[in-house]
Structure 1
Amino acid sequence: MSGEKLNWWQTRWFVLAMAIAATIPLWWPTIPPLVDLPGHMGRYRVQLAMADNPWLNQWYDFRWSLIGNLGIDLLIIPLAPLMGLEPAVKLIVMAIPFLIVTGLLWIAREVHGRIPATALFALPLAYCYPIQFGFVNFALSMAIALNLFAWWLRLARQGRLMVRAILFVPLSCALWVCHTYGWGVLGVLAFSAEMIRQHDLRKDGRGGHWLESWIRAGLGCVPLALPLVMMVVWRSGDHVTGVTADYFNWRAKIQWMMMVLRDRWLAWDIASTAVLLVVLLKGVRDDRIEYSRNLGLSALFLFLVYLLLPRIVFGSAYADMRLAPFVLAILLIALRPRRGSQPRDAAMLAMIGLVFYAARLVGTTWSFALYAQAYDRTLAVVDVLPPRARVVSFIGRHCYDDWAYTRLEHVPGLLLERRLAYANDQWSMAGAQQLTTRYAAARGFAHDPSQIVTDRYCRGEWWRPLGYALQLFPRDAFDYVYLISPPAFDHKQLKGLTLIWQNGTNYLYRVDDRTQPPPPPPLIKRRPKPQSQPAAK
């Protein structure tokens, strides 16, 4: 096979071109329009500015600790002084789809010897729904984990097992620090691949049955185990909060699988997911194509983990949803021509995969440009907002789940990032990240999800109707009220607030009368249980 000429989709230049192309949707937006990212950027600013602006301690408590969620938080320390915080974050985020593409194609190359044409259909998952949601430390860890798994396979193929064992002790620890999820996925992938390798040694008289292979695979993955100690230390502290809940929500798990390419246009995203499923079905029905045992087992293990994972782990929401697209990605790159057969239409299949990838990139680029325009309109308020302003933001949304998020749910974090203004969108869960809120005067409007408002009470949610929020927020704790695409409400509840700026459906009010309005009559008889609150992501 090594002497055969490579097809155009199997060359290193093609892999590099596909990886660079994956960054195109992020070229135009100043701030990558990912749902949670603006909130994280507010935290990064506090992290960098706390020493020179000690008054921030009145609002936020920031303490460094060794936790499995520090990827970008650490990378901005050397990068932000060189290029500024926003360019540094954008550069790191652009690296995520780049590394996902290189990781998937590298894994395919190591397992199959050549990149199969079907692997190109996995590339659009570089912008899967969890990444669109802005789980950036998670996404970075997954991108790195894919490349580390490819290297793990390569070192095994070269017989450099001792080198692999030595290298992956520090690498697994670094990956865990980036985000625990990536380390866990690397462990699952490495274990499944090692099981196949150990079992296949039987052909040389040195292997064993599956049980023996299982044991040997576990021993082979010991270099990845040191973060288990770090995990115990992290989660055993007295300061740690966060629950694990919502197991076996089968309806949601089916929905997550159908949402793997969710972005803006429902029909387009569902049709694109259907294309992936058709390709996977081709591997079952077409006698010229088969699934690799190696990656097939990896995908099976990941799928079992997906089924067992609850929705909330350690207070972090959507834990199971994050894995869904990567199960499909591993399945897609597991496809290959059957041994001894080379489908005549391989080039055509590769071309279709390339067109599909290009079409998804065009759609994502257009979508991100539209989201970037919404960001620009919303952030124009910084021109009139003084530094150190105490701002309570209220962002309108529906009770039902819109397919196309506004992506403005955490844009107040950019007021903190750009003007060092107080933002009530920060997550506050000790042990989940470095920052917690300490602004007691803000009371129930100190942190996420107090920034989200609706036109009515949404059953089972923590969001307030906007009218109630305007009556309840403590007026002596805030200088400004920022309404972002608010729902309908009674404008009499704006008494004591003066409109000083408007841009489209965004309004900035100054609090001129700090007299607290009388509390509204009780509306919510029963609040959702604490474990249903996704306080950290």
Structure 2
Amino acid sequence: MTAEAGRPQAPSAAAAAPTRLGLVYFALVAATLAPLAIWPIPPSFDLVNHWARLTLYHMAPGDPLAALYQVRLTPIPDLAVDLAGFALSPLVTPYGVIALAWGAAIALPAWGAWRIGKAVHGAPQPAVLLAPALAYNLVVTLGLLNFAIGMGLALIAFAAWLTIDRRRLPLRIALFNLVSAVLFFCHLAAFAAFGLLVAVYESPRRAGESPRDWAMRALSTVCCLLAGFALWAFAPPIDSRLSGPGSKLAALAAPMYDWTAAAGVLGTLTLIVVVAGGILTRRVAFAPTMRLQLVGVAAVVALAPSAHGAADFIDARLAVLLAYLALASLQGPREAAAKRWTIALAVALVATRVGMAAPHWVAYDGWATEFREAIRAVPPGARVLAVAPPAGRCPALDDADFYRGLINFVVIDRRALASTLFTGRGMQPVAARDPRLDATPWTPPHPAWLASHDWRGLYDTLIALHVDCDWRPDEAGLAQIAETPQATIYRLR
């Protein structure tokens, strides 16, 4: 049986027992997770958002948050972390769930790449050792944990699609419908990515396959994904308050993005040069059975919009999946010397990425400590509005996503409402009890927004982000109660 026929390959000796390759791969993945043990809060702006939302599921009687937020469970996507929080409660704290989710966002895609390499080649190839270098990508760094977890599960599921015997049709239908439902609840884009991989793989007619057999194979494929499509059809509309950044540059930076787009682009181009060099010297090659999938996903990345309504980084998310898929599809090198060089290169890349990320972890840990100390001045039950300076006024806020994530600590630490907590319909299972707050954008608005909206009747606390900038809001009636290098906190008189 062959992977091209979608059936299991005979296990080789290399695949049957633990090997040096597997141990090295495990060590590389573990190295990318090591900073979490030293600095518990990764520099990832949406991570605190997830953490704050989990806090709302554990409100004790009389908790001030109960008067500010409500939980509404509906069949919506983007719930991987939330469902993990429900499943692990009360054994694991909300932060414990977040730490596990962040680890899973790195470990699951790496495992998925390993499984696809094994499914396609019969045993993982040395070139897959480059996959752990993708650990700090745009999806993980921005804290898009639900998609990252779903992406990993989609890769693992596609490896299973390639290897589970097609003659076991009832098993395939039951298993992959369950998988499609799980992927839907993880993230809609993760289910769409799995569907894309399956569709591209199954679309061509096989050699010697009759039109009837092709049609039956296509029908069985659809039957395997019905649960995910049914959930998609009945999902509620998505709140479009959040608009994505809309930059195709993000797709190029995404596979190696960590902190800045420029560094991400340079890292991705470096990885492309390394792989291209291996292909041109014929030390590695893409598996024939995966070339169509790679071309198909690359075409979608090139043509997909960067944002559509509330869906941001559409192409960039798929670019990360494409990178994992490409490295998993590489075969070789075969020569002993080339294998040793591949191991050395993989170790060097991971060490470089972890080493370059460490200063950002240190800095973010310091910011979080300072900010959490400053917000002690915010009383429980407060309503906090975050505001940003006028566009271009404070250049340091070019990386505002990392600073903005700190605002949601007021939910966790001070049991207060934060305007930056995502609460959109069809996106999140929590909502503010006061419907008037729906008019406030999730991203901190500029002073012009304050001048044109009656926000004083809705909020009693204002946090002005400025990040080492001399700008401060000039609104009347503000009394400063605390300040950090990142933000100044005011109460309304």
1:84 aligned onto 2:84: no
Counterpart-to-counterpart distance in 2, 1:495 and 1:234: 44
Alignment correspondent of 2:420:
425
Alignment correspondent of 2:163:
154
* Partner deviation per Cα, 1:270-309 (whole Å, 9 max, x = no partner): 4322221113323542234321122222212212222343
Counterpart-to-counterpart distance in 1, 2:161 and 2:20: 20
CA distance 1:470–1:360, change in 2 (3 Å): same
* Partner deviation per Cα, 1:130-172 (whole Å, 9 max, x = no partner): 2211111111111221222223333249x75543333222122
Counterpart-to-counterpart distance in 1, 2:253 and 2:210: 37
**Which SS does the other structure have where 2:442 is aligned?**
coil
- The answer (yes or no) to whether the contact 2:130–2:346 under 8 Å persists in 1 is yes
CA distance 1:464–1:145, change in 2 (3 Å): same
Q: State the Cα distance separating 1:349 from its structure 2 match.
A: 2.1
- The answer (yes or no) to whether the contact 2:203–2:218 under 8 Å persists in 1 is yes
Q: In structure 2, which of residues 474, 479, 485 is the aligned counterpart of residue 498 of structure 1?
A: 479
Opposite residue 287 of structure 2, the aligned amino acid is S
Alignment correspondent of 2:107:
98
**Which SS does the other structure have where 1:388 is aligned?**
coil
Counterpart-to-counterpart distance in 2, 1:355 and 1:138: 28
> How much is the aligned-residue C-alpha RMSD, in angstroms?
3.5
Q: In structure 1, which of residues 330, 334, 337 is the aligned counterpart of residue 329 of structure 2?
A: 334
- The answer (yes or no) to whether the contact 1:71–1:141 under 8 Å persists in 2 is yes
CA distance 1:470–1:226, change in 2 (3 Å): same
Q: State the Cα distance separating 1:418 from its structure 2 match.
A: 2.2
Opposite residue 72 of structure 1, the aligned amino acid is V
Counterpart-to-counterpart distance in 1, 2:17 and 2:399: 38
Alignment correspondent of 2:234:
233
Counterpart-to-counterpart distance in 1, 2:477 and 2:397: 33
Counterpart-to-counterpart distance in 2, 1:243 and 1:39: 16
**Which SS does the other structure have where 2:319 is aligned?**
helix
1:303 aligned onto 2:303: no
Q: In structure 1, which of residues 281, 287, 295 is the aligned counterpart of residue 282 of structure 2?
A: 287
TM-score by length of 1: 0.78
**Which SS does the other structure have where 1:83 is aligned?**
coil
**Which SS does the other structure have where 2:417 is aligned?**
coil
1:68 aligned onto 2:77: yes
Q: State the Cα distance separating 1:71 from its structure 2 match.
A: 0.9
Counterpart-to-counterpart distance in 2, 1:142 and 1:65: 22
Alignment correspondent of 2:442:
448
Counterpart-to-counterpart distance in 2, 1:215 and 1:243: 43
1:484 aligned onto 2:449: no
Out of 501-510 and 176-185, give the one that drifted further. Answer: 501-510
Counterpart-to-counterpart distance in 2, 1:437 and 1:301: 41
Matches within 5 A, 1:132-147: 132-147=141-156
Alignment correspondent of 2:198:
190
* Partner deviation per Cα, 1:300-338 (whole Å, 9 max, x = no partner): 221222234323346322222211122122122222138
Alignment correspondent of 1:21:
31
1:219 aligned onto 2:220: yes
Gaps of 5+ in 2: 1-10
- The answer (yes or no) to whether the contact 2:116–2:329 under 8 Å persists in 1 is no
Counterpart-to-counterpart distance in 2, 1:243 and 1:272: 32
Counterpart-to-counterpart distance in 1, 2:210 and 2:338: 38
CA distance 1:485–1:171, change in 2 (3 Å): same
Alignment correspondent of 2:173:
165
Q: State the Cα distance separating 1:9 from its structure 2 match.
A: 6.9
Alignment correspondent of 1:529:
none
* Partner deviation per Cα, 1:469-504 (whole Å, 9 max, x = no partner): 37956334333222233654466x254322222333
- The answer (yes or no) to whether the contact 2:390–2:446 under 8 Å persists in 1 is no
- The answer (yes or no) to whether the contact 1:246–1:312 under 8 Å persists in 2 is yes
Counterpart-to-counterpart distance in 2, 1:295 and 1:106: 14
CA distance 1:481–1:143, change in 2 (3 Å): same
1:464 aligned onto 2:446: yes
Opposite residue 460 of structure 2, the aligned amino acid is D
Out of 87-96 and 266-275, give the one that drifted further. Answer: 266-275
Q: In structure 1, which of residues 129, 138, 156 is the aligned counterpart of residue 138 of structure 2?
A: 129
Q: In structure 2, which of residues 39, 48, 55 is the aligned counterpart of residue 45 of structure 1?
A: 55
Matches within 5 A, 1:306-317: 306-313=301-308, 315-317=310-312
**Which SS does the other structure have where 1:482 is aligned?**
strand
Counterpart-to-counterpart distance in 1, 2:241 and 2:419: 22
Alignment correspondent of 2:382:
389
**Which SS does the other structure have where 1:64 is aligned?**
coil
1:274 aligned onto 2:283: no
Alignment correspondent of 2:5:
none
Counterpart-to-counterpart distance in 1, 2:242 and 2:376: 42
- The answer (yes or no) to whether the contact 2:138–2:253 under 8 Å persists in 1 is no
Opposite residue 65 of structure 1, the aligned amino acid is T
**Which SS does the other structure have where 2:90 is aligned?**
helix
- The answer (yes or no) to whether the contact 1:176–1:182 under 8 Å persists in 2 is yes
- The answer (yes or no) to whether the contact 1:391–1:482 under 8 Å persists in 2 is yes
Q: State the Cα distance separating 1:31 from its structure 2 match.
A: 3.0
- The answer (yes or no) to whether the contact 1:395–1:409 under 8 Å persists in 2 is no
Opposite residue 104 of structure 1, the aligned amino acid is A
Counterpart-to-counterpart distance in 1, 2:326 and 2:141: 21
1:181 aligned onto 2:189: yes
**Which SS does the other structure have where 1:22 is aligned?**
helix
CA distance 1:344–1:15, change in 2 (3 Å): closer
Counterpart-to-counterpart distance in 2, 1:394 and 1:72: 28
Counterpart-to-counterpart distance in 2, 1:25 and 1:177: 29
Considering fraction of residues, name the structure with more helix: 2
* Partner deviation per Cα, 1:73-131 (whole Å, 9 max, x = no partner): 11111324223211221122212201121111121122112322222222222221122
Counterpart-to-counterpart distance in 1, 2:168 and 2:20: 25
Q: State the Cα distance separating 1:364 from its structure 2 match.
A: 2.4
Opposite residue 180 of structure 1, the aligned amino acid is L
- The answer (yes or no) to whether the contact 1:9–1:350 under 8 Å persists in 2 is no
- The answer (yes or no) to whether the contact 2:256–2:268 under 8 Å persists in 1 is yes
- The answer (yes or no) to whether the contact 2:85–2:97 under 8 Å persists in 1 is yes
CA distance 1:397–1:345, change in 2 (3 Å): farther
Q: State the Cα distance separating 1:415 from its structure 2 match.
A: 0.7
**Which SS does the other structure have where 1:498 is aligned?**
strand
Identical amino acids, percent of aligned pairs? 22
Q: State the Cα distance separating 1:269 from its structure 2 match.
A: 3.7
Alignment correspondent of 1:33:
43
Q: State the Cα distance separating 1:441 from its structure 2 match.
A: 5.9
* Partner deviation per Cα, 1:407-466 (whole Å, 9 max, x = no partner): 02132222112222011112343222223334356585x4412xx2xxxxxxxxxx423x
Alignment correspondent of 1:345:
338
Counterpart-to-counterpart distance in 1, 2:190 and 2:481: 46
**Which SS does the other structure have where 1:301 is aligned?**
helix
Counterpart-to-counterpart distance in 2, 1:326 and 1:398: 33
Opposite residue 45 of structure 1, the aligned amino acid is T
Alignment correspondent of 1:460:
none
Q: In structure 2, which of residues 362, 365, 370 is the aligned counterpart of residue 372 of structure 1?
A: 365
